[in-house]
Amino acid sequence: MEYRLLGNTGLRVSVIGIGSLGFSRVRATPEKVEKIVNRALDLGVNIIDTAYAYGEGEMEKAIGRVTKSRRKECIILTRSHLRSPEEFAQTINESLQNLNTEIIDIYQMHDVTRPGQFERLMSNGVFHELKKAQKAGKVKFIGISTHASPEDMKKIINCGEFDVITVSYNLINYQRQTIDGEDISITERETLPLAKKRGLGVTIMKPFGGGILAKNPLSEVKISPIQALKFVISNPCVDTATPGVGSIAELEEDVKAGDPHILLSREDIARLREDAKRWGPDFCRNCGYCLPCSEDIPIPQIMRLLMDYKLGEKGKKNRAKKAYIDLKVKASACTECKKCEEKCPYHLSISRKMKEAQRIFE
């Protein structure tokens, strides 16, 4: 396993970490989580990424079964999504208990993404609570996880308050811009190098595009988990990628990407990029750039449910239907204004997909 310094923190992290959202995907029991995390540590993984939001502390508790006895072997990265200072401070205390530790290595404000959210959290007392917890010795390093626009991400990085940033980056879903007809990755050109320059540790979530990459049966393009992960960690600005895993077999496959002897050449990377471009024209990357919808339709969520329905087995189809019924605003609210389509970097025909969702689910 290769290890890298996490920005200026001095922590040495395994290039492949373990993300815990994959456990929810397979509805892993705490015993199963414990088994997989133990195996990950045995294989040299040393960073565990989780969040209070995953089961309101339950995922942290499952991981805490391991950290209780193997604390020194792991670097814990967790975060709170709560937006009031009191609740945020409370979740830090709960995370400490859940994870059976006296100090958390990295604590983040979770999913600081929507316009104005960063400024609000910096001034409404939430950031103050995070700093307070750091001064009190409850957390070592602080950070943010975000899907924000490139402009907001630069603000977060440049403010100089954070040690670690967690962003989404993979072969198919990155922030992009078309300049003179050329597809430019803002993530690669600007955001990641800026974070590196400013000394922030960079951890990557969704290295498989939210679990879809390499598993899209619609596409004849097959990219292996090792290739997808190697692509991410081949970027020198990336310190670690934390894929979600649902089984020991998945974990063991992913961990192979951390072998420094397996290399991707420039040609390999170029070929993977070309393959990824051939991903279907209907394929939603769940990036959320199309939001907000003028009618408040949760577009990425509906796109995901549509995909689950079309590709999933019977159980998944039923779950997608049920989840759709629970949505407050449904696809039938679409007025076909197409404002979302102007914002979608993949030029998806969103209004047409809303009609399809309406036909299938309503």
Residues in the site for ligand SF4, rule: CB under 6 A? Answer: 284-290, 293-295, 297, 299-300, 303, 334-340, 344, 346, 348, 350-351, 354
Q: How many CB atoms lie within 10 A of CB 72?
A: 7
Tell which residue, 336, 290, 353, has the closest CA to residue 361: 353
Q: Say how far apart CA 116 and CA 193 lie, in whole Å.
A: 24
Sheet architecture: strand order including 139-146: 18-19, 47-49, 75-80, 104-109, 139-146, 164-168, 201-205, 240-241
Q: Closest distance between ligand SF4 and the C-beta of residue 341, in Å?
A: 7
Beta strands in the chain (DSSP E): 3-5, 12-14, 18-19, 47-49, 75-80, 104-109, 139-146, 164-168, 176-179, 182-185, 201-205, 240-241
Structure tokens at 76: 């814990």
Q: Closest distance between ligand SF4 and the C-beta of residue 72, in Å?
A: 41
Q: Say how far apart CA 285 and CA 33 lie, in whole Å.
A: 27
Instruction: Closer to ligand SF4 by CB, 3 or 289: give it.
Output: 289
Instruction: Closer to ligand SF4 by CB, 13 or 287: give it.
Output: 287
Q: Closest distance between ligand SF4 and the C-beta of residue 348, in Å?
A: 5
Q: Closest distance between ligand SF4 and the C-beta of residue 212, in Å?
A: 11
Asked if 163 and 195 touch (Cβ cutoff 8 Å), the reply is no
Instruction: Closer to ligand SF4 by CB, 58 or 282: give it.
Output: 282
Structure tokens at 362: 């309503």
Straight-line distance from the first to the last Cα atom of the chain, in angstroms, rounded to the nearest whole number = 49
Q: Say how far apart CA 315 and CA 327 lie, in whole Å.
A: 19
* Torsional class of 210: left (φ above 0), alpha (ψ -120 to 50), beta (otherwise): left
Q: Closest distance between ligand SF4 and the C-beta of residue 223, in Å?
A: 18
Question: Nearest 5°: phi and psi at 250?
Answer: -60, -45
Q: Closest distance between ligand SF4 and the C-beta of residue 70, in Å?
A: 38
Q: Closest distance between ligand SF4 and the C-beta of residue 327, in Å?
A: 13
Instruction: Closer to ligand SF4 by CB, 262 or 337: give it.
Output: 337
Instruction: Closer to ligand SF4 by CB, 256 or 304: give it.
Output: 304
Instruction: Closer to ligand SF4 by CB, 22 or 298: give it.
Output: 298
Q: Say how far apart CA 171 and CA 232 lie, in whole Å.
A: 8
Instruction: Closer to ligand SF4 by CB, 141 or 283: give it.
Output: 283
Q: Distances in Å between the alpha carbon of 243 and those of 10, 75, 81, 85, 198?
A: 22, 15, 20, 30, 25
Instruction: Closer to ligand SF4 by CB, 99 or 284: give it.
Output: 284
Q: Closest distance between ligand SF4 and the C-beta of residue 281, in Å?
A: 11
Structure tokens at 3: 């290890």
Q: Say how far apart CA 41 and CA 212 lie, in whole Å.
A: 25
Q: Closest distance between ligand SF4 and the C-beta of residue 13, in Å?
A: 29
Instruction: Closer to ligand SF4 by CB, 37 or 172: give it.
Output: 172
